[in-house]
Amino acid sequence: MGRKLDPTNKVKRGPGKKARKQKGAEVELAKFITDGKDLFVFCPLLVYESIVVCKKIFFFSNQLLPIERAAKKEKKQKKLMDLGSEDDDDDEEEEEEEEEEQEDDGDEKEEHQDEDMDEDGTLETNTDDVDRFRLPDPEESEKEGMLSLDLKTIHQRIKDNVDVLCNFSAKREEGKARGDYVSLLKKDLCTYYSYNSFLIDKLMELFPLSELVDFLEANEIQRPVTIRTNTLKTRRRDLAQALINRGVNLDPIGKWSKVGLVIYDSSVPVGATPEYLAGHYMLQGASSFLPVMALSPQEGEMVLDMSSAPGGKTTYIAQLMRNTGVIVANDANSERLKSVVGNIHRLGVTNTVVCNYDGRQFPKVMGGFDRVLLDAPCSGTGVIAKDPAVKTSKDEADILRSAHLQKELILSAIDSVNAESPSGGYVVYCTCSITVEENEWVVDYALKKRNVKLVPTGLDFGKEGFTNFKQFRFHPSLKLTRRFYPHSHNMDGFFVAKLKKFSNVVPTVPAEKGEGFSYVSFVPGISTVQQENKSKSGPKKAKIAKMDGEGVKAAGVKKPTVKADVKNEAPKSDKNEGSRFEKKQAKKRKKPTIVKKRLGKNKFQKLKTMLKKHERE
């Protein structure tokens, strides 16, 4: 309202805006009220009997009715006006009213809390009974089989069941075993996330229950799109600026990589930009960076990528080597090699040779590499977000089949490496699977079969590999391997192990027990399987040599009789007839006949009987 213009002319002011609206009973009631506590003495009027009844209800809390508060305010205002408090503004009166209302509200809250103490206690106990998870009865489970449940109820039941299993002793239902809860959880997980029972069993063995749900949820979400900068043609800063100008929202992938970028959204297709076609970057998952970083190839080395398609790791190796040295990019599938060739040309790689061989037979083709990268084919349990068909298509036979193939490949990869390399002798084994049978079990097999040892991968993050799992007991050095999970590291499930070969000698298992290990020197041109067969055939050759001696003796005994019979038929000069070539052919023809007589117990016994008859004669 503002200040008065004439300070000498004092004008009495009325109540504020809120009080001015309240007219009627409070004006009359103010004449009889002296204090709030003496309300019962000064209420003789029948008009206010309803007010007395309300006052009795709020007696224990000293709570005033709104009409009483208005009357008290009016009385206070009159006193202030009599004392000459004309300089107070309406704003101050409104503030006082708000303060009184806040105090009254606080009194009401305290009153309700005091009155409802018992009711709250009973409510808490009731909610505890309701919130406690209870297993369904057999009748309810039969109904669930007949009628499909809502996915929301199944999801809530999974959460409650996991909560009970994490604190089983305190939250379990009496008379129910842990197996009942676990079987119900398996059934719900298979229904809600669409997995088969085999894969759910494998995952429950691999993860704690609290972490299992996070892993399954992470597989329902696509991993972020990541690209790798091709430093042979550009720098990451320049590439990021060019893509930002085209409407791409991106960030560096993390401190662990100097060439990776993660793309959140883009107004243009990332796989069709001019920068992509010019070979400035490669669309590549974040997990595919890790094995190449662990391999850490050096300039001028000879490197083998045993299963190279589609070429992301091969071109990254060439990028780190700065197009020096030699890279052999091999893959067993000739159709997939087309993508390798295309990416090599697009990214400007000039030090790579592409070939199509079975990785298991590669040591027969060539060897002596400084470093080998083996991204083995696997079941794909780490990339379920990319390929949801894995949820229902894999079983125990698929896992064991993949593990057998991986064992053969890792042995051939180790045999392709030269342990005497001055800068290398390393093998990196990686898979996009998280099962133990395809990872730690395979690496532990390689440690037993070849002269290799595990070394640190050089990766700062990731979880350690298993040294024991169920019935498996692995080498303690397997803790140097690294595992990566989608729910922990926001990348595809991956496994990386780095091996160092310290000897080209191949240990082979002896034929007889108690003889110890026999060793065979490695020859790059001959496969290790052939070398092992040669080593195993050693004792047999010794036996054959003895038999050769006996056969020669027998032949020496028979020759005189033959000569005696043939002396009259052919002269000695005829023996020298014929060329050297014919003599060699005759020798070659005689050898298999002697070998045939040597082989088999029956023929050897016949030879003995013939010798005995000859001696008797």
Are the C-beta atoms of 261 and 230 separated by less than 8 Å? no
Which candidate in 190, 378, 430, 432 is catalytic?
432
Q: Check if 432 is active-site.
A: yes
Locus of tokens 């590439």: 239
Q: What is the sign of the dihedral through the CA atoms of 443, 448, 449 and 450?
A: positive
Phi-psi region of 368 (alpha: psi -120 to 50; beta: other; left: phi over 0): left
Q: Is 309 annotated in some ligand binding site?
A: yes
**What SS3 string covers 548-563?**
HHHHHHHHHHHHHHHH
Locus of tokens 């004449």: 31
How far does Cα 283 stand from its chain's mean position?
20
**Structure tokens that stand for 466 in this block:** 């298993």
Task: Read off the amino acid at residue 313.
Answer: K
CA distances 35 to 50, 107, 111, Å, are: 19, 18, 21
**248: which strand partners?**
266
Q: Is 137 annotated in some ligand binding site?
A: no
How far does Cα 555 stand from its chain's mean position?
71
Q: CA-CA distance, 595 to 543, in Å (whole number)? A: 12
Q: CA-CA distance, 140 to 180, in Å (whole number)? A: 15
Q: CA-CA distance, 234 to 256, in Å (whole number)? A: 20
Q: Nearest to residue 555, comparing CAs of 585, 586, 580, 591? A: 591
Residue 420 neighbours by CB under 8 Å, 6+ apart: 504
CA distances 443 to 409, 425, 504, Å, are: 11, 16, 18
Q: Nearest to residue 322, comparing CAs of 231, 225, 196? A: 231
Q: CA-CA distance, 464 to 483, in Å (whole number)? A: 6
Locus of tokens 């299963």: 307
Q: CA-CA distance, 370 to 326, in Å (whole number)? A: 10
DSSP symbol at 519 = E
The C-alpha R_g of the chain, in whole angstroms, comes to 45
Are the C-beta atoms of 316 and 249 separated by less than 8 Å? no
* Strands (E) located in 460-549: 463-464, 468-469, 472-473, 482-484, 494-501, 505-508, 518-521
Residue 548 neighbours by CB under 8 Å, 6+ apart: 594, 598
Are the C-beta atoms of 439 and 465 separated by less than 8 Å? yes
Q: Is 331 annotated in some ligand binding site?
A: yes
| Residues contributing to the annotated binding site for S-adenosyl-L-methionine | 307-313, 331, 358, 375
| Residues contributing to the annotated binding site | 307-313, 331, 358, 375
Q: Would you name the residues annotated as active-site residues?
A: 432
